[in-house]
Amino acid sequence: MAFLLDTNSWIHYLKHANSPIRTQLESLAPTDVVACSVVRAELLHGAEKYGNRDRRVATVVQSLAPFRSLAFDDDAAVIYARLRHELETAGAVIGPFDLQIAAISLLHGATLVTSNTGEFSRVFGLVVEDWLQ
């Protein structure tokens, strides 16, 4: 099973040289980790917002380069729609980007790595790990 890191996990990895996330990533083969288009978009958006834009964009691109990237595609959209309906019905909605990331993780059978376990734990069937604990 592959690990898909969410945006907050990648941000911690990028900001902290001694991050436990870095240690975990270095212990895995690149084939054991996947990225996704939604997380890439959020990280690139963050790189646009601050100084040293070119360096920040290059860092994001370089950090994600070793990993296969999974798209939010039509199959993920079907899962997203079902999850969103279930969560709305239960009064337990999560953010739309987080829901897209969860749908991609479920579609591909990936374990989602996040410190945002409270939100993602609302998604039935999603396997979640927090590498900061």
DSSP 27: T
pLDDT computed for residue 31 by the predictor: 97
Residue-wise pLDDT for 90-105, tens only, equals: 999 999 999 999 999 9
Residue 129 identity:
E
| Residue in this structure with the two tokens 């996040």, named with its chain if needed | 114
Predicted TM-score (pTM) of this structure: 0.95
All domains of the chain in start order, with CATH: 3-129 (3.40.50.1010)
Q: Comparing C-alpha atoms, which of 101, 129, 119, 120 is closest to residue 1?
A: 129
DSSP character at residue 110 = P
Is the predicted pLDDT of residue 1 greater than 90, yes or no? no
Beta strands in the chain (DSSP E): 3-5, 33-36, 68-70, 111-113, 128-129
Mean pLDDT of 118-133: 96
Three-state DSSP state, 78 = helix
- pLDDT tens per residue, range 12-45: 999 999 999 999 999 999 999 999 999 999 999 9
Residues 125 and 105: beta-carbon distance below 8 Å: no
